[in-house]
A and B are shown apart, each in its own frame.
Chain A
């Protein structure tokens, strides 16, 4: 990486205004106090039970994601631009979904290759021809953003299904306010705690037309063994809705019902945190115990809204990602405010050639994967790892895309030796219902290992509170 790495705290040699109070705060904080606070934060996280189990890795199910107390700060100007870019993207992604499950104009116009859409595993034949209430497929769009310079923000990927991590955004703030109230008195930081209310409103706004009165909303979780269970229960609690599992629900007389101590209660909106394939054993995987038999028929006949809509995943596929700027132009007639990371489609022979020649400098990702399990980070890999990955690539080029290793920005972080820059990314959560809402903030993930670019919590990443300063 020849480019210079942008440290978000500094402008040249001087501390940026927005970080000034934090600079004073860290300088004034003695090392032992910091360690005490760190321990306190950890105890608080453990007490509230916010833990993260890495899927398939076994180990301690009560593991915590490391919390870095050093906040990340955005100015109001920076945020405004991000906000416009994120909302623009969320609108385009939803327009794309309505289109590809309808007439497929963008494919007919030759702007997106049909095979990427129609042959995509995430494209659900079962919902073709259906327009969900308010034309929204993806109600919570998590957009992963990286920064490479003072004004350079790039979208790394979109998450249109069930982006996780928002509970960390909220709990990180809660804990920071509890431990360091003075920081919040001195700096004017935009609050994020409206999120659960906004999410509830968003979901209520997409209730089926047939729903009379206040819609009943529930969150569908795969169960308490799921690594994100804490988040599911946290959100249900904050929104004041029921947290249900498949066996709590059943279909009868064309509607979806919840088993309660007072008998069956009708459900209008189901915020599901399980994958499409598990939603309905009659429609998808017949062996699924997590879903509800017959729910897809209820959904398609307008008896319940499912958020995110089944089939929404086709918009966040890594191969489709390349075409999001095209979607923005096609559906909105606008120029993208946030750019994509340059991406090579290994399915294209020219691109594949380039990628194979330059594997050492590239990051290669699986198009259907998630969570950073099936990827190659060229500069961090051995010659052998690169060689064996090249074989995978040659065998199934259509499964991969490649991107340059970016000079991700850093943010000061607390490490064993004191304060040091660590690479960060950002996931804001955009809510799409009858309105598009975005709380000022998001989840900042930080690669706590020195020099590491992998921020995934499954691979040793941590989290930070993310501040947007009021004017």
Chain B
């Protein structure tokens, strides 16, 4: 038994930490792509697509107008006006953690709190002394530390399930968005598909997900859109694939249903999405259209999240 509000806080710690990591990974992809010689369409579009992937394009445009790399870096990393910026995510995760201090082990709280304190110190440093890759690496390190602390110390109770559910729902959503950006936004013209630039971008994407070595090991040979899509959508061995994420979400919801002795619509929705994704082949997906498929996945994930709220986090369900 957990206070609904506590479950809510734990769930959002998971979501925010995963989102922080994804924002940093996006920034990494963006900065690498920006180093490429322009391929007809500009530098500017690349960055815009990054903003769009993180769902922050509008907020950025309102505040800064044209996407200039320095501004984008600030906006995605240090800007509190951007709810998905790394600092916003860390701050909110830490705030959620502070509220449920007693539901966290001291190692987990330490990891959350120290990361927040370090980030505040980073924030005070002159921006010119901070390399983007350094702060991105710092972010990965902190999120990994937290995951490690959770894994090593957190009691495997319902609180843990909500925490992990937050991670897995957010991860599926984020991978889908990242993939969508690469395929749909970054390379809008069909001519580019299969070009050198295309495969280089895929490589960057895999790198940003720390997945290129795993990819090579699993597929070998040329990097193609079909292989990457298979890897990031359907491969159960890829820790960030949509299937892995939604399977995990369904597992956590299954555990909760078991603990509480009550099946919920949230679990039904997660099971249905998992089975649906598992029933696809990469050909099916390309036939439907990758963008369409991904959009559908993002919406379905949002519906699971809404069910989780109604069934567990509002405290209303009998």
The interface residues of chain A lying within 8 Å CB-to-CB of B110 are 47
Q: Does B80 contact A (CB under 8 A)?
A: no
The interface residues of chain B lying within 8 Å CB-to-CB of A263 are 315, 317-318
| Highest count of chain A CB atoms <10 Å: which of B158, B162, B315, B317 | B315
The residue of chain A having its C-beta at the shortest distance from the C-beta of B99 within the complex is A224
The residue of chain B having its C-beta at the shortest distance from the C-beta of A48 within the complex is B106
Q: How far is the CA of A236 from the CA of B314 in the complex (A)?
A: 22
The residue of chain A having its C-beta at the shortest distance from the C-beta of B260 within the complex is A262
Residue from B4, B113, B262 in contact with A49 in the complex, judged by beta carbons closer than 8 Å: B113
Tell me whether A247 and B260 are in contact (CB under 8 A).
no
Which of A19-27, A238-246, A343-351, A368-376 makes up part of the contact surface? A238-246
Tell me whether B318 and A233 are in contact (CB under 8 A).
no
Tell me whether A259 and B5 are in contact (CB under 8 A).
yes
Q: Hey, what's the 0/1 contact readout for A76-105 against B, CB within 8 Å counting as 1?
A: 000000000000000000000000000000
Q: Hey, what's the 0/1 contact readout for A230-254 against B, CB within 8 Å counting as 1?
A: 0001001100001111011000000
Tell me whether B101 and A260 are in contact (CB under 8 A).
no
Tell me whether B318 and A47 are in contact (CB under 8 A).
no
The interface residues of chain A lying within 8 Å CB-to-CB of B158 are 261
The interface residues of chain A lying within 8 Å CB-to-CB of B5 are 244-245, 247-248, 259
Q: How far is the CA of A49 from the CA of B5 in the complex (A)?
A: 21
Q: How far is the CA of A224 from the CA of B102 in the complex (A)?
A: 13
Q: How far is the CA of A265 from the CA of B158 in the complex (A)?
A: 16
Q: Does A217 contact B (CB under 8 A)?
A: no
Tell me whether A248 and B315 are in contact (CB under 8 A).
yes
Tell me whether B314 and A260 are in contact (CB under 8 A).
no
Q: Does A293 contact B (CB under 8 A)?
A: no
Tell me whether B113 and A261 are in contact (CB under 8 A).
no
Residue from A243, A248, A265 in contact with B102 in the complex, judged by beta carbons closer than 8 Å: A243
Give the Cβ gap from B45 to chain A, nearest Cβ, in Å. 42
Tell me whether A261 and B102 are in contact (CB under 8 A).
no
The interface residues of chain A lying within 8 Å CB-to-CB of B98 are 49, 224
Q: How far is the CA of A58 from the CA of B72 in the complex (A)?
A: 32
The interface residues of chain A lying within 8 Å CB-to-CB of B260 are 261-262
The interface residues of chain B lying within 8 Å CB-to-CB of A262 are 1-2, 260, 262
The interface residues of chain A lying within 8 Å CB-to-CB of B101 are 49, 233, 237
Q: Does A258 contact B (CB under 8 A)?
A: yes
Q: Does B109 contact A (CB under 8 A)?
A: yes
Q: How far is the CA of A244 from the CA of B4 in the complex (A)?
A: 10
The interface residues of chain B lying within 8 Å CB-to-CB of A237 are 101-102
Give the Cβ gap from B117 to chain A, nearest Cβ, in Å. 8
Q: How far is the CA of A47 from the CA of B109 in the complex (A)?
A: 9
Q: Does A264 contact B (CB under 8 A)?
A: yes
The residue of chain A having its C-beta at the shortest distance from the C-beta of B312 within the complex is A261
Q: Hey, what's the 0/1 contact readout for B120-163 against A, CB within 8 Å counting as 1?
A: 00000000000000000000000000000000000000100010
B contacts with A: majority SS: helix
Residues from 276 to 318 in B contacting A, C-beta threshold 8 Å: 312-318
Q: How far is the CA of A260 from the CA of B256 in the complex (A)?
A: 13
Give the Cβ gap from B258 to chain A, nearest Cβ, in Å. 12
Tell me whether A233 and B1 are in contact (CB under 8 A).
no
The interface residues of chain A lying within 8 Å CB-to-CB of B316 are 259
| Highest count of chain A CB atoms <10 Å: which of B4, B256, B312 | B4
Q: How far is the CA of A351 from the CA of B86 in the complex (A)?
A: 63
Tell me whether A260 and B318 are in contact (CB under 8 A).
no
Give the Cβ gap from A236 to chain B, nearest Cβ, in Å. 6
Tell me whether B113 and A47 are in contact (CB under 8 A).
yes
The residue of chain A having its C-beta at the shortest distance from the C-beta of B262 within the complex is A262
Tell me whether A264 and B113 are in contact (CB under 8 A).
no
Q: Does B7 contact A (CB under 8 A)?
A: yes
The interface residues of chain A lying within 8 Å CB-to-CB of B162 are 261
Q: How far is the CA of A224 from the CA of B3 in the complex (A)?
A: 15
Q: How far is the CA of A262 from the CA of B4 in the complex (A)?
A: 8
Q: How far is the CA of A264 from the CA of B316 in the complex (A)?
A: 7
| Highest count of chain B CB atoms <10 Å: which of A224, A247, A261, A262 | A261
Q: How far is the CA of A244 from the CA of B102 in the complex (A)?
A: 12
Tell me whether A259 and B113 are in contact (CB under 8 A).
no
Residues from 202 to 230 in A contacting B, C-beta threshold 8 Å: 224
The interface residues of chain B lying within 8 Å CB-to-CB of A260 are 1-4, 315
Tell me whether B318 and A264 are in contact (CB under 8 A).
yes
Q: How far is the CA of A265 from the CA of B318 in the complex (A)?
A: 10
Q: How far is the CA of A236 from the CA of B316 in the complex (A)?
A: 23
Q: Hey, what's the 0/1 contact readout for B78-102 against A, CB within 8 Å counting as 1?
A: 0000000000000000010011011
The interface residues of chain A lying within 8 Å CB-to-CB of B262 are 262
Q: How far is the CA of A247 from the CA of B6 in the complex (A)?
A: 12
Residue from A47, A242, A258, A259 in contact with B314 in the complex, judged by beta carbons closer than 8 Å: A259
The interface residues of chain B lying within 8 Å CB-to-CB of A236 are 102
Give the Cβ gap from B110 to chain A, nearest Cβ, in Å. 7
Q: How far is the CA of A369 from the CA of B101 in the complex (A)?
A: 32
Tell me whether B109 and A261 are in contact (CB under 8 A).
no
Give the Cβ gap from A47 to chain B, nearest Cβ, in Å. 7
The interface residues of chain B lying within 8 Å CB-to-CB of A264 are 315, 318
The interface residues of chain B lying within 8 Å CB-to-CB of A243 are 3, 102
Given contacts A49-B109, A237-B102, A243-B102, contact A261 B7 (CB under 8 A): yes
Tell me whether A248 and B113 are in contact (CB under 8 A).
no
Q: How far is the CA of A259 from the CA of B316 in the complex (A)?
A: 7
Tell me whether B102 and A259 are in contact (CB under 8 A).
no
Q: How far is the CA of A194 from the CA of B105 in the complex (A)?
A: 21
The interface residues of chain A lying within 8 Å CB-to-CB of B7 are 261
Residues from 394 to 422 in A contacting B, C-beta threshold 8 Å: none
Give the Cβ gap from B146 to chain A, nearest Cβ, in Å. 16
Q: How far is the CA of A233 from the CA of B98 in the complex (A)?
A: 9
The interface residues of chain B lying within 8 Å CB-to-CB of A242 are 3
Give the Cβ gap from B294 to chain A, nearest Cβ, in Å. 31
Q: How far is the CA of A248 from the CA of B99 in the complex (A)?
A: 13
Give the Cβ gap from A463 to chain B, nearest Cβ, in Å. 21
Tell me whether A259 and B109 are in contact (CB under 8 A).
no
Tell me whether A259 and B99 are in contact (CB under 8 A).
no
Q: Hey, what's the 0/1 contact readout for A35-63 against B, CB within 8 Å counting as 1?
A: 00000000000011100000000000000
Give the Cβ gap from B11 to chain A, nearest Cβ, in Å. 10
The interface residues of chain A lying within 8 Å CB-to-CB of B315 are 248, 259-261, 263-264
Q: How far is the CA of A182 from the CA of B259 in the complex (A)?
A: 47
Give the Cβ gap from B232 to chain A, nearest Cβ, in Å. 32
The residue of chain B having its C-beta at the shortest distance from the C-beta of A259 within the complex is B315
Tell me whether A261 and B318 are in contact (CB under 8 A).
no
Given contacts A224-B99, A236-B102, contact A265 B113 (CB under 8 A): no
Residue from B4, B95, B99, B106 in contact with A261 in the complex, judged by beta carbons closer than 8 Å: B4
Q: Hey, what's the 0/1 contact readout for B154-179 against A, CB within 8 Å counting as 1?
A: 00001000100000000000000000
Starting from the known contacts A233-B101, A242-B3, A263-B317, 4 additional A-B residue pairs (CB-CB under 8 Å) come to: A49-B98, A248-B4, A262-B260, A265-B1
- What are 13 inter-chain pairs, A to B, with CB distance below 8 A? A224-B95, A224-B98, A237-B101, A245-B5, A247-B5, A248-B3, A248-B4, A259-B4, A260-B3, A261-B158, A261-B162, A261-B312, A263-B315
The 7 closest A-B pairs by CB, nearest first: A259-B315, A237-B102, A259-B4, A261-B2, A261-B312, A224-B99, A261-B7
